[in-house]
Amino acid sequence: MNYYNEIKNKLIDNEIYTKTKDYSKERHKVITYFEIGRLLNKAGGKYGEKIIDKYSEKLVIEVGKKYNKRTLFRMKQFYTIFSNEKVSPFATQLTWSHYTELLPIRDYNKILYYLTISINQNLSRNNLRNKIKNKEYERLNKNTKNKLVNNEPTTIVDLIKNPITIKNNNYNLISEKILQKLILENIESFLEELGNGFSFIKSEYPIKLGNNYNI
């Protein structure tokens, strides 16, 4: 089997497809890259790991500069991770740019967490990048992580991060009033830290506790 010619033809087909089928080109790209990852995995098993170097040198010249060694390695990595039965049903539900954020992560359960919330919360690539950068997964307790990995139901409390991070670029000393100000200035970010199921009504909302109100 000529793995190189099959890979080259799939990439050329994808380049043509992206110019003519805007509505579904991203899904087509992901499927194509998954298939190429499978072929690279097979070729590596037959010819050795350096086959990616050889193929990338030719593809850069014959198809396009973006198909370099790093890109081909990512495709192979993509296949390796998403051929796993736990995550294979999700393999085409995000864009390739989402996957490029997930592939550098070494912890499989961490990938599964960010993959799941990206789909469930319809996260953009930038939203996903920010959550990874802010170490959202690391700030969940162990019990919550186990529930997510085992696809068990979670409660609102499970998804509250610890610690909760609040953006602060202006204040060195924090008082209760400043803390309130910081939360209200970035209310959307703060609610995301609490997980799902929270909404903002207004900054001062009376809550009756017994016979008295909190304000």
The answer to whether the beta carbons of residues 163 and 135 sit under 8 Å apart is no
Which tens digits make up the pLDDT trace of 157-207? 887 788 777 777 776 777 777 777 777 777 777 777 776 666 666 666 666
Which CB contacts under 8 angstroms, 24+ apart, belong to 14-18? 15/63, 15/64
Return the pLDDT at 128. 94
Which tens digits make up the pLDDT trace of 114-166? 988 898 888 999 999 999 998 999 998 889 888 877 778 888 788 778 877 77
Which tens digits make up the pLDDT trace of 76-111? 999 999 888 777 777 788 999 999 999 999 998 899
Cα angle 19, 23, 24 (rounded to 5 degrees) comes to 85
Sign, Cα dihedral of 108, 109, 110, 114:
positive
pLDDT(53) > 90: yes
Question: In 3D, which of 32, 27, 38 has the Cα closest to residue 9?
Answer: 32
Q: Which two tokens stand for residue 195?
A: 């997980």
pLDDT(214) > 80: no
Q: Which residue has the higher pLDDT, 41 or 86?
A: 41
Name the band, by pLDDT with cuts 50, 70 and 90, for residue 54: very high
Q: Which two tokens stand for residue 50?
A: 């350096």
Q: How far is CA 149 from CA 38, 66, 153, 194, 196, in A?
A: 25, 34, 11, 20, 18
Question: In 3D, which of 81, 131, 125 has the Cα closest to residue 107?
Answer: 81
Distance, CA of 213 to CA of 215 (rounded, Å)? 6
The phi, psi pair for 37, rounded to 5°, reads: -60, -40
The answer to whether the beta carbons of residues 201 and 209 sit under 8 Å apart is no
Q: Which residue has the higher pLDDT, 36 or 185?
A: 36
Cα angle 165, 166, 170 (rounded to 5 degrees) comes to 135
Q: Which two tokens stand for residue 4?
A: 């190189």
Cα angle 6, 7, 9 (rounded to 5 degrees) comes to 65
Q: How many residues does the chain have?
A: 215
pLDDT(24) > 60: yes
Which CB contacts under 8 angstroms, 24+ apart, belong to 175-184? none
**What residue type is 87 in one-letter code?**
V
Domains of the chain by residue range: 1-83, 164-215
Element (DSSP H or E) covering residue 34: helix 25-47
Return the pLDDT at 182. 73
Distance, CA of 57 to CA of 11 (rounded, Å)? 14
